[in-house]
Structure 1
């Protein structure tokens, strides 16, 4: 008798501002016994493994002890399941809730235990999005949930539910900051730049390195695995510039510019979170089919998006003194950007 069961896996991104970008997530685990994935819809296992002990017209989808699962593209018309097929992307929850989760289904066979047993939870859960930074807890047995049938019109109880929580750490994902902030104003000609060497080791002036190329120099062969950026004093792939353009009686106008110094990486569905000195926040993201993709740089130009924002102010509390018009923190795709020191902010004229 074949011991088997059907399972649905749902990935939910609870982070409000950090999304999972292409090439997409990778989910992995280690089976507790000799389980195999007999069939799968809505995703695929990257390695079939050794299935030489099986024969017949239908073979297992994967016999790997430690399978790695990836999403399939949205335009795939076959082998789909409900809530699947987002190309590995998970949107930030505050930006696009509907696309912040993804699901896939599969059939497990060779489940150990007695008849009608659902086996043991897999071990060693891993989640890459698409690189490191996430640490996942063991699967924990929770109150059985329900699955949706008939296009979500009917609830079907399930036999068992396991959950794992994966937490993100910028320190694990990145050895140094990935973005920096520069400031300028209409009332002071001095620009406060990003701090030197913010995102990497300092380089000798006017020299290319393994990780950067001087503006105007030929790019050479492309290598998608390496993040080659334009050589700058700050050496950051992303720079956010906050410029106070005008100061009106009841509003103030700011020009926000996000620059991408990568030569071979675009940022899809980017977002920028501004934390103001009074702890209020403003969230910005691109418009579909217009500027939702922050394009890479090339030898002739820097990839960038820009917008102007008119913000209402409270005359009883607003003042340009002491940097009130400058943000306290700026986050790009959920990553904390390096801010200039307060004593370097553009000063008001005497």
Structure 2
């Protein structure tokens, strides 16, 4: 019996719906396949500093990509060596923000908590993207506080400049900065600090020499008025200048943090200001003799709480938060402690390392943090004019 026209129409419509449904399923399956083929999204971390920082961040990248996180995100590292244009990172970030760039590869950066105010001052309050505690559950274990930017920047390690000395030649090291200055004058040529523009340890020595004459509040104030109070500090540095390390009969200020460490390792000097983590790394790998010890002075040299921050111009804030969460996890903190003797921001009793013994007595909560914004660059420029020229 022949079907009536409306029966054929109904049958055709049903077939069309089925075809559409199948096509929809095919498209969905194709989309899922394409998404799967695309693999994990890339999250790029930008970091700067000395070689020990680079090695540590490379270890973090490897561990992160091998973890469960690696199934969803692929972490990459962009590293800028200390003294080789680190300032250009902040310049590029600010340029990207001011030109309204979006979806750049500046997903996550390392920075000190002291530089937060400078970024925000130049780039606006929305320069960084706040992290969500639900995406960074390990944040509840972080004991270290930041001076500014709570809820936006995440501390991941502590670092400070200390006095390193060869105990074989200096059995009784100075305990105060005044005792250090007296020792320098009593032992001509046996102390060195690197140019402040080439590394943080030399910068810390210079900053401490100036700011020890100022009230404590000046350490966290970028008001240009404090420049008028720098004279006593610069006079002190001029007074110390003739007693510093010499080569060829002239005072020499080494280049970079490693420059002073090399002098100490070779026995050309007996004492230097140096980053605690960098020195411990050199002790662990045999780069320094075992007779080298660390001590903190009173008042202490300045240091930093190093943090992670998510620039708003980045393209992968979710991936950035996953990396942030990993770096403050027990696994991440263990890597940083083992690789660079980073002072943990979590309960250190949960971590075990040979470096823990060398870090004993260094309490991050009692570090002196300096946050003076653009005054830091001006201070370095003035050192170049007033002190650096004395060596020529």
- TM-score under structure 2 length normalisation: 0.23
Structure number with the higher helix fraction is: 2
* Higher RCO (CA 8 Å, separation ≥ 6 residues): 2
- TM-score under structure 1 length normalisation: 0.25
